[in-house]
Amino acid sequence: MAALEYDLAKEIDGQAAATEIARHELYGCTGAEMVQEMKPYHIDFPNVKNNCLRFEVSPSIEESATFTDADWAELGNDFMQRMGLA
């Protein structure tokens, strides 16, 4: 939850530093809401303490200078596909 809150709040020169490009059926707008929304999926695994994975995909500024939201979504989806998480 703290990592989600950090990403949502982080700014660089007054601009949001992280942009959400794909919801993947999550409706919460804060880290706490997103974690709460995922809890029913974790109920079957009470002994698992670290039940979420967090990845950051950060191409260089030069590489991503002309990226559109669709380009970012494609990059994220390609990453998840290659990691077997799609």
7-17: pLDDT as tens digits: 777 777 887 77
In terms of pLDDT, which residue wins out, 86 or 44? 44
Backbone angles phi, psi at 80, to 5 degrees: -65, -40
The token pair at 33 is: 């809401």
Q: How many CA atoms lie within 13 A of 37 on its CB side?
A: 13
11-56: pLDDT as tens digits: 778 877 776 666 677 777 777 888 888 888 888 888 988 877 778 8
The predicted structure's pLDDT at residue 81: 92
Other Cβ atoms within 10 Å of 69 Cβ, number: 11
**Which residues on neighbouring strands pair with residue 24, listed in sequence order?**
none
Residue ranges of alpha helices (H) inside the chain are 2-9, 31-42, 61-64, 69-82
